[in-house]
Every structure is written in C-alpha cells, then in structure tokens.
Amino acid sequence: GQQVMQIPQYQHVQEGEDFTTYCNSSTTLSNIQWYKQRPGGHPVFLIQLVKSGEVKKQKRLTFQFGEAKKNSSLHITATQTTDVGTYFCAGRNTNAGKSTFGDGTTLTVKP
Amino acid sequence: EAGVAQSPRYKIIEKRQSVAFWCNPISGHATLYWYQQILGQGPKLLIQFQNNGVVDDSQLPKDRFSAERLKGVDSTLKIQPAKLEDSAVYLCASRPIQLTYGYTFGSGTRLTVV
C-alpha cells in the first residue's frame, strides 16, 4: 500500500533559525496537504498543493510540491516559539482516492 | 461556523469492555472520517463515509470496531471488546465533498484501555 514518510522525526532549533521538514511518498500523488498539531491538540489544516512543482507561501511558511509529485517540503523561516508542534503531510493517492498521513516532524523551538 | 464536535474528550476502560464515541461534523460536510492516532504517529484512517454510505473501511478492524452514520449527519464509532492496543486518540474529521478542501478535525477522544 501507499507509504508516506517524513524526515526528520524531531527537530530542535533556536528561535530565529530556519526549519525544514520533508515528505516522501512511495507512489505518485494527486495532491498533498500539510497539517499542524500543537501539543495536546488536533491537526489543523494548513494548505493543499496540487500541481507539479507548485510553491505556495503563508507568511514565514513555504510549501513545495516536487516535480514528480512524490515529495514535498515545508520550510519555516526564522522560527518563533509559536511554531512549536508536529507538522504532518498527507498524500492523496491518484488511484486509491484517500489520503495517507506521514508520522510527522515534531518541532521544538528554544527561546 | 461551528467546528467538528466530539464526545467524550477522555475515556478510561478496562480491556474487554466496550466504548462508543460520537461525532457531529460541520454542517453541510458530506464526507466524514474516523482516524486513530497512536502516540507519536500520524492519524490512521479507520473509516470514511460520504453522506450515510461507507466509502472506505479497509483498515477498520471489523471484528471489534463498528461505525455508523445514520441520516448522513452525526456518527458513532464503537469498540467491542477493547484491547490494550486500542489506546489512542480517536479523531473525527469532516470535509465538503469538493476535494479542494482539507480535513477539519475535532478535538478527539483520548481512550485509555487498562
């Protein structure tokens, strides 16, 4: 079945440093979504990418979808303590029609 | 707009007991999902409904888990009998039928089986 892997599993940064998490799928995706889950909270939808090579920005967050539509990345510029949480990608398989979540990257930010 | 409502927030039961979770999705959202999230992992889909029909239940352990969405609105997920490995957060999510939207998750039910 479809597998979605995220690296790294954990990332500890100093406030102000940049952060990147990577998502890789074993199959070609029709779209990929990104979610943020704060400690003790539930996943909150951030964005969806659909097109090959697509790049979207939300303030300090930059999301990319690979040319082959099998990988994606989330980059945060100048992290803040409010960025703390676990970032999940969810890839939708072109054939299966359902999204599979990765196991997330947990970001901690030291003030 | 009101979010996805779930209850209870927490539940502790002994193994072999039964438990039920309830979810009320966002009004108008045709698609409803139940996910299981084990600590340190991403959400894993258990079952997907579209209106009151099951779209995907391939990962639902049907010998002990059941779910229904009568009238295509709210939904219940039941576990009977529970096992220790069922300890997890059970998340309900809904989404409009258009695939351009992401999932809106409820706050979840944290189940502890002892």
pLDDT tens digit sequence for B67-97:
999 888 999 999 999 999 999 999 999 998 7
Q: What pLDDT score does B51 carry?
A: 87
**A57 CA to chain B: closest CA distance, Å?**
17
**B6 CA to chain A: closest CA distance, Å?**
12
Is the bond leading into B43 cis (omega within 30 degrees of zero)? no
**Which candidate, B19, B16, B52, B34, places its Cα nearest to that of B94?**
B34
| Residue B86, φ and ψ in degrees, nearest 5 | -80, -5
Strands A10-14 and A105-110: parallel
Do A87 and A104 meet the contact criterion of CB atoms below 8 Å apart? yes
Do A71 and A54 meet the contact criterion of CB atoms below 8 Å apart? no
> Is the pLDDT assigned to residue B13 strictly greater than 70?
yes
**Tokens in use for A111?**
């003030």
User: What confidence tens digit (pLDDT) does each residue in A66-106 have?
Assistant: 999 999 999 999 999 999 999 999 999 865 567 899 999 99
Largest CA distance in chain A: 44
Q: What pLDDT score does A95 carry?
A: 59
> Are B105 and A44 inside 8 Å of each other by CB?
yes
Q: Which residues of B touch A8 (CB under 8 A)?
A: none
Q: What pLDDT score does A96 carry?
A: 56
